[in-house]
Structure 1
Amino acid sequence: MPQLFLRVFRALPLLGLLACQPDKQPAATENAARPQQLTDDLGRRLTVPARPRRILALAPSMTEMLYAVADTATIIARTQACDFPQAALRKPIVNSYPLDLERLVALQPDVVFTMEGITSQDDAARLEKLGIPVYYQRYNTVEDIFKGLQDLGRILHREPQARHLTDSLRTALRAIATTAPAGPRPRVLAITWQDPIYVYGQNTLFTDKMRLAGGQNSVVESFPQPYPALTREYILQLNPDVLLGGRFGQLDSTFFKNYPELRRIKAYQNRRVFAVTGNLMERPSPRVVESIQELQQLLQQPAAR
């Protein structure tokens, strides 16, 4: 691992500690401040208190984002699916699916953060009728994560913390890019569901991570959908260099057992079939550089002899 990357990566916990430092603002200034008029990533307009003091997220990735940027004393709850960072496990639980509306309202949050595809807009409308604003974020690229962190910093008056974090993540990302080998990028097929076969396609965060790790999503040139369904015949035609979706032995006894003809693809023949760390890869979070580093290490593994 490059020394520059090591130095930056080791600095990230320190930045997390900086994010945990409480804000110190004069009470008179706080009381005089006007509410914030915001537009979220879905184009929804909402009003948020000038200085939100009770916040929560309805998606595990958003909880990670808040712990990276916010004064953590202001985070009042987590969802049943939140498992990182460890400090989040000490917070009360609000069920996010189905949404425990009564429990959430009882906590009296100043603002609720969520992401597209996690919380229905009907649930958001119910909360907003009760005076609880809901702010959505959308992540299709790694750059969207950096923007999301900076937006949270602005809303929560933690802009220096957000800026330091995103600057360090960008530096680490540049360090990863310097280690990419020369030559053609491996063509990758990343499975998200086995029966029927669905894969990661265009406009997905996973595809952007794959690109930054030095790979090429083998389906993006053919399908406009983010999660296209593929036939076995089409996968044989693609003949990907790498398949992501599970350990070789695991998929050999499940996926390839169900679709034995797919054992003819290069990824299987060369044993370049890999598992990825699920919550690390799937979540748009401050651990994005760590997930790209893991992908890069997998993609650079040589074919079996």
Structure 2
Amino acid sequence: MPETLSIFRSYFSKMLLLLFLFGCGGNPEKTVSNSVQKAGADKITVTDDLGRKLGIPENPQRIMALSAAMTEMLYAVVPDSVIVGRTQVCNFPEAVLKKPIVNSYPLDLEGLLALKPEIVFTEDGITPMETAAKIEQLGIPVYFQKYERVADIFRGLNDIGRIMHRETEARKLTDSLQTELNANLNEVKTHERKRALVIINTDPIYVYGRNTLMTDKLEKAGGANAIQEIFPQQSPQLTREYVLQLNPDFIFGTSKPQNETFFRLYPELQKVNAFKNKRIFILNDDLASRPSPRVVESIREIRNYLQK
């Protein structure tokens, strides 16, 4: 009997030790957040917006973006000191103009490597997957974000905050942006939503399609995308006949020459309501095209035109 009791005590002691070890973090895949997991002593595993799992440094000190929108996202959350470069089209905020340039299309891979980023952030639809694969083959993880609605921008800012240990700063920013957005929504007149066509290119005609962030911005500005059909492409090419059939109430371009050229190229489109009622306006191209922390400013610009 004493021998049996001794064996039981030994087994019980070992079980307590094992429970203590596992309770103190013995699991190497301990969850840090919904999309961030421990992957080692100085690495974590994150899941980007495309569902790709990436191993990244736990405390990254050198990062950059391959899209102008993502550069704005980074600057809104992290200190200037950790952003090591910019692309040839990054121009906001002003501080980014002092950073070394890495050409993003075609990618200057040698220039990127010279800056030694620990993470490269980019935007779905901007950086081809084959380009991302080349970067990752060199040991640099590429984190994609995807934006289909304004809420995705706020979520993206908070995701950057978690990755960069700037959760408080990111949350403060997104709370502030949400407050601004709510104030804008209170001023929107929704009883009669005007249909707007937002042109990207005039020859041929490319526009922001239904399944884009622009649709959500137009709705939050009190209007609606004149494009109701969902095309395979986010920015479909339209015929002049299709535009005539749409008969938009507003037409937005991103430059004065573009707007003037449009109706010279297609004089028959002067029959649409937008032209007849002189509701042809120019949007700030950077605000219109970039899913960035300036999204509320973009919505406000659209709203002001729609109320004219």
Structures share fold, TM-score greater than 0.5? yes
Q: Name 1:290's counterpart in structure 2.
A: 297
| Alignment deviations for residues 105-153 of structure 1 (CA, whole Å, 9 cap, x no partner) | 1221111111112222222212212111110111111111011101000
Q: CA deviation at 1:226?
A: 2.1
Where in structure 1 are there 5+ consecutive unaligned residues? Answer: 1-31
Distance 2:146 2:84 in 1: 23
Q: CA deviation at 1:230?
A: 2.1
Q: Name 1:275's counterpart in structure 2.
A: 282
Q: Secondary structure at 2:187's aligned position in 1?
A: coil
Is the contact made by 1:62 and 1:285 (CA closer than 8 Å) also made in structure 2?
yes
2:262 matches 1:259: no
Q: CA deviation at 1:176?
A: 0.3
2:142 matches 1:134: yes
1:195 to 193, 196, 203: 203
Residue identity opposite 1:61 in structure 2:
A
Residue identity opposite 2:97 in structure 1:
L
Q: CA deviation at 1:261?
A: 1.0
Distance 1:191 1:199 in 2: 4
What are the within-5 Å matches in structure 2 for residues 97-112 of structure 1? 97-112=105-120
Is the contact made by 2:42 and 2:57 (CA closer than 8 Å) also made in structure 1?
yes
2:246 matches 1:238: yes
1:185 to 193, 210, 227: 193
Is the contact made by 2:102 and 2:112 (CA closer than 8 Å) also made in structure 1?
yes
Q: Name 1:89's counterpart in structure 2.
A: 97
Q: Secondary structure at 2:274's aligned position in 1?
A: helix
Distance 1:94 1:192, change over 3 A: same
Q: CA deviation at 1:234?
A: 2.2
Q: Secondary structure at 1:53's aligned position in 2?
A: coil
Q: CA deviation at 1:256?
A: 0.9
Q: CA deviation at 1:184?
A: 1.1
Q: Name 1:13's counterpart in structure 2.
A: none
Q: Name 1:68's counterpart in structure 2.
A: 76
Q: CA deviation at 1:229?
A: 2.3
Distance 2:259 2:290 in 1: 26
Residue-pair matches, total: 269
Q: Secondary structure at 2:69's aligned position in 1?
A: helix
2:41 matches 1:44: no
Tell which has more relative contact order, 1 or 2 (C-alpha 8 A, sep 6+). Answer: 1
Where in structure 2 are there 5+ consecutive unaligned residues? Answer: 1-39
Q: CA deviation at 1:221?
A: 4.1
Taking only aligned residues, the RMSD between alpha carbons, in angstroms, comes to 1.7
2:128 to 106, 115, 120: 120
Distance 1:104 1:195 in 2: 34
1:150 to 114, 139, 158: 158
Distance 1:222 1:47 in 2: 35
| Alignment deviations for residues 25-73 of structure 1 (CA, whole Å, 9 cap, x no partner) | xxxxxxx954110111111111000000011111111111111001221
Q: Secondary structure at 1:79's aligned position in 2?
A: coil
Q: Secondary structure at 1:38's aligned position in 2?
A: strand
Q: In terms of mean alpha carbon deviation, does 200-209 or 276-285 score higher?
A: 200-209
Q: Name 2:182's counterpart in structure 1.
A: 174
Q: Secondary structure at 1:51's aligned position in 2?
A: coil
Aligned-residue sequence identity (percent) comes to 56
Is the contact made by 1:63 and 1:78 (CA closer than 8 Å) also made in structure 2?
yes
Larger Rg: 2
